[in-house]
Structure 1
Amino acid sequence: MKQFLLLWGLLYFLSGAHATPTKVTIRVKAKDAKFIGTAIGGAAVVIRDNRTGALLASGITTGTSGDTKSILQTSYQRYQSITDDKTAGFVANIDIDAPTFVDIEVVAPVSRRGSAIKGSTQIWVIPGKDILGDGIILELPGLILDILNPTTHQIISSDSIKNNSLPVRISLTMLCGCPISKGGVWNANDFEVKAVLKKEGSPIGTFTLQKAVQTNIFEGNLPVKEKGNYQVVVYAFQSRSNNSGVDLLNFVIQ
């Protein structure tokens, strides 16, 4: 009888269970850099029930990229926080009535789709057990690289080419938008930046781009001697952190 009453009580409790609002904080951090927030367009966050695939929450991380000293220039101790109330994040409000195994997927930065990286993780969310503070931090590798000159499918007159040399200019930042400069926190000397040039699909060569005076800018020259269809692929590699970024485009000399 006692076992029956216990079982009945458990079933009664479960049948009367109600969904409990539960907060889950998601933050997205660039590898060897800071958090991805409002200034760079934020990170898209999607949370789903792993068992059913049902969408539980979605949104964009907002806020600042965080404090450089706390994130990158401090020796860490256990349970030490690297965020504050202004640091970029997304707080999901999930209504669940039982422990739920969820899939968390992020894509960032949202506004730079050509450089956006996807990341994911899984956790158990317990009703009423909010995940706050630093929350769940997903770290994404990568760099944002944009070719500024030449432009996409630019048609360039051969008469305008001086000394058979075409200037190439690119912008490079960390995935969070953090700046790259000589001697800075993200030192330009730590990045290898090269342009691979092809004409009509045939390789011409690989050429090193040097850091310009302006923050984030690298530049160099491409040997262009003949009319035709060209493609340039520019890559950047940060060997100390294994971050990389690529951009490519085609242009025409006529």
Structure 2
Amino acid sequence: MRLAALVHLSALTLAGLPVAAAAEPTDLVIRVISEGGKFVGTSMGGAEIIVRDVRSGEVLARGRTTGSTGDTARIMAGGPRGTPVADEASAAFKARIDIAEPRLVVVEAYGPLAQPQAAVRVTAQRWIVPGQPATHADGWVLELPGLVLDLVEPAASQRGAAGTNIRLAANVALMCGCPIEPGGLWDATRFDVRATVRREGQPDSEVRLTYGGRTGYFTGAFVAEKGGAHVITVTAVDTETGATGVDATSIVVP
């Protein structure tokens, strides 16, 4: 069988006819790292990964990152550019694609999947050459910007009374789920968390939220002076990296 194929190939070559290149298996390792933090892995639902051919749009691979957030000391210590920080357990999406020629590919990463209100999409492009794996060092790494912010109080469409305090509470974390707490590696004091309130579409008030006594938990309150529909938007900003998260809700004051 193999001999017949070789004879056929030789015949095509002698005849001057084009010979299609054989596809070669090519390995990819793709990781997603949180802005200012660690890898986005199983604990946050991972990040969806789609690998496409830029020109044709063909999907070459699809999946999600799984694994741990990685070794904190190794990742956060820094080092010369290009220094590997991932270990074997660090979250990654691994795939093998069969390609016969160099392909310009785009990778889309979307996540964290367990926090849809905070999930964002990032893309990057690079050439992939048959038989040349994209696995060196940490592999192909994309950074996921932002913060996870989950506004838990007040509840959506909660009703309140004019002149009363409306309690505010929000959970804040890095996109990898890394903890925010006083004196920690991600110190709570460096996070600016505040709420802006609009009543009937007009600016009403702004209040700063402070650390609420447990990891990533920030609280505050505002007075609903008048009736109407109030839209509350909470923002969190890491003042060291600029990473930002946003969530919103609304209440009705009769």
Task: Give distance in 2, aligned partners of 1:38 and 1:154.
Answer: 33
Which amino acid is the alignment partner of residue 112 of structure 1?
Q
Distance 1:226 1:102 in 2: 55
Distance 1:79 1:220, change over 3 A: closer
- Report the equivalent of 1:56: 60
Q: Secondary structure at the match of 1:209?
A: strand
Structure 2 CA distance for partners of 1:79 and 1:147, relative to 1, 3 Å: closer
Q: CA deviation at 1:75?
A: 4.2
Pick the aligned partner of 1:37 from 34, 37, 41.
41
Q: Does 1:250 align with 2:244?
A: no
Does 1:82 find its partner at 2:81? no
- State the percentage of identical aligned residues: 34
Q: Distance in 2 between matches of 1:79 and 1:240?
A: 22
2:97 matches 1:94? yes
Residue 41 of structure 1 aligns with an amino acid whose one-letter code is G
Listed as ranges, the gaps of 5+ residues in structure 2 are 1-9
SS state at 1:22 partner: strand
TM-score (norm 1): 0.90
Cα deviation, 1:85-112, whole Å, max 9, x if unaligned, reads 1100101211101111111111111222
Task: Please give the root-mean-square deviation of Cα atoms over the aligned residues, in Å.
Answer: 2.1
Q: By how many angstroms is 1:227 displaced?
A: 2.9
Partner of 2:239 in structure 1? 239
Q: Match for 1:33: what amino acid?
A: G
Question: 2:4: which partner in 1?
Answer: none
Q: 2:214 matched to 1:214?
A: yes
State the Cα distance separating 1:79 from its structure 2 match. Answer: 4.7
Q: Distance in 1 between matches of 2:225 and 2:21?
A: 75
**Letter aligned with residue 240 of structure 1:** E
- The Cα of 1:253 is off from its aligned counterpart by 2.2
- The total of aligned residue pairs comes to 243
Task: Flag the 1:22–1:114 CA change in 2: closer, same or farther, 3 A.
Answer: same
Aligned partners of 2:107 and 2:78: how far apart in 1?
Answer: 29
1:69–1:154 Cα change, 3 Å: same
Q: Which runs of 4+ in 1 moved over 2 A?
A: 77-80, 225-228
Q: How does 1:92-171 map to 2 (within 5 A)?
A: 92-132=95-135, 133-156=137-160, 158=161, 164-171=164-171
Deviation, structure 1 residue 71:
0.5
Q: 1:92-147, CA deviations, whole angstroms, 9 ceiling, x for partnerless residues?
A: 21110111111111111122222112111111111111122410001121001111
Q: Amino acid of the residue matched to residue 59 of structure 2?
A: L
Q: Please, what TM-score do these two structures have when normalized by structure 2? A: 0.90
Distance of 2:199 and 2:53 partners within structure 1 = 50
Which letter does structure 1 place at the counterpart of 2:47? Answer: A
Which residue identity lines up with residue 109 of structure 1 in the other structure? P
Deviations 1:143-183 (A, max 9, x none): 01111110111233x2xx8x721111110001111111011
In structure 1, how many angstroms separate the alpha carbons of the residues matched to 2:108 and 2:177?
21
